[in-house]
Structure formats: structure tokens, C-alpha cells
């Protein structure tokens, strides 16, 4: 009996293509993979970033991010956060670090409403979305994903220093 070999596919199989590293699923937000948490100043410039598996709740991981940024910025006194961070782990982390937690509530009404202080973080995420390596979850390690977010923030800050009157950031080609 002669056996014929199946021709090899030019694309790798799904089992070999699977990404490694910390991954999860957040059923509430319908997010698969990883989540990014960023801390920005009032101008929208990055103070700190934390990337973790999507299965970890936002409030549980906020303490690690607050600890990171408090070590770097000891003058920090107040933190603005949305209502998802109004839980005991965040309140406890703010109490231990000497920070004041100010929860920005959503304004009642239908449709899109611009929420004060919250749009700064959303704008920063929008700036990061223009960076190709941050548009999707390409990285295997969370440390590399955090470094890519930091590099994107450095590029944005340099662009705003060099071109203070230009509003739109040119698209990165790498």
C-alpha cells in the first residue's frame, strides 16, 4: 500500500499561531486577550501604563499602577477615575499611598455625552490607537506591550514639542 503525503500548507496551523503570554477574557467588557490601564496627567501625557490579562478586573489591578506612579511622582495628590474603579482595592491603595480618589460619574442621558476629565484618558487611548503596534495585541510579553505604549507616548510628546501649533499627529510608518 502506497501512502501519499498530504501537501504542507504554507500557513502555520492555528495551534502554532496561538500567542503566548498572559491572556484572559473579561465577560463584562467582552474583551479577549489583554487590557491596558494608563495614568495620564491633565494634558493627556502618560505617567504610567500597566498591561495584564483581560480576566483580571480593573479595580484589582489599579493598585499596582498607582504604586508605580506614586514612586515616580511623589508630588501626586489626587486621582480622577471612572466608576469602574470605585471598589475596595482602589480605595485601599489610595488610602495607603496618601492619594485622594475622585470618581467621575457618567452624566445621565442618552447617546454620547462628553464626560469631564474622562475624555483626557480616552483621547490618549485614541492617540495610542494610531500606533500600529498598539492597534492590536501583537506582543507576547506584557513588558514589551508596556514598553510599546511608553514609546508611543514619547513620540507623541516629542511631536507636540517640535510642532506646537499642529493639531494632528502624522501616521507612524513602523
Tens digit of pLDDT for each residue in 112-136?
Answer: 777 777 788 888 888 888 888 888 7
pLDDT confidence of residue 23: 73
Q: What's the domain count of the chain? A: 1
In a domain, 100, yes or no: yes
Residue 36 is part of a domain; what is its CATH number?
3.30.420.10
Distance CA 49, CA 36 (A): 7
pLDDT confidence of residue 138: 79
Expressed as residue numbers, the domain containing 136 is 20-162
In a domain, 107, yes or no: yes
In a domain, 172, yes or no: no
Cell numbers linked to 13: 496551523
pLDDT confidence of residue 122: 83
In a domain, 8, yes or no: no
pLDDT confidence of residue 73: 93
* Bridging pattern class, strands 31-40 and 24-26: antiparallel
In a domain, 71, yes or no: yes
In a domain, 31, yes or no: yes
In a domain, 5, yes or no: no
In a domain, 4, yes or no: no
pLDDT confidence of residue 172: 63
- pLDDT 10s digit of each residue in the chain, 174 long? 566 665 555 555 554 555 667 777 766 677 777 888 899 998 888 999 999 888 888 888 899 999 999 999 999 999 998 888 888 999 999 999 999 999 888 777 777 777 777 788 888 888 888 888 888 777 888 888 899 999 999 998 888 888 877 766 666 654
Amino acid at each position: 500500500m502506497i501512502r501519499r503525503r498530504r501537501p504542507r500548507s504554507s500557513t502555520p496551523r492555528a495551534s502554532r499561531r496561538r500567542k503566548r503570554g498572559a491572556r484572559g477574557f473579561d465577560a463584562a467588557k467582552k474583551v479577549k486577550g489583554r487590557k491596558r490601564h494608563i495614568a495620564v496627567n491633565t494634558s493627556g501625557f502618560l505617567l504610567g501604563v500597566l498591561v495584564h490579562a483581560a480576566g483580571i478586573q480593573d479595580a484589582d489591578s489599579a493598585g499596582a499602577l498607582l504604586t508605580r506612579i506614586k514612586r515616580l511622582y511623589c508630588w501626586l495628590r489626587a486621582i480622577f477615575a471612572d466608576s469602574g474603579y470605585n471598589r475596595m482595592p482602589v480605595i485601599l491603595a489610595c488610602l495607603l499611598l496618601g492619594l485622594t480618589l475622585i470618581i467621575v460619574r457618567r452624566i445621565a442621558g442618552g447617546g454620547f455625552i462628553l464626560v469631564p476629565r474622562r475624555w483626557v484618558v480616552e483621547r490618549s487611548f485614541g492617540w495610542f490607537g494610531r500606533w500600529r503596534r498598539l492597534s492590536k495585541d501583537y506582543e507576547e510579553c506584557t513588558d514589551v506591550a508596556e514598553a510599546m505604549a511608553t514609546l508611543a507616548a514619547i513620540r507623541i510628546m516629542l511631536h507636540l514639542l517640535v510642532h506646537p501649533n499642529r493639531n494632528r499627529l502624522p501616521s507612524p510608518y513602523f
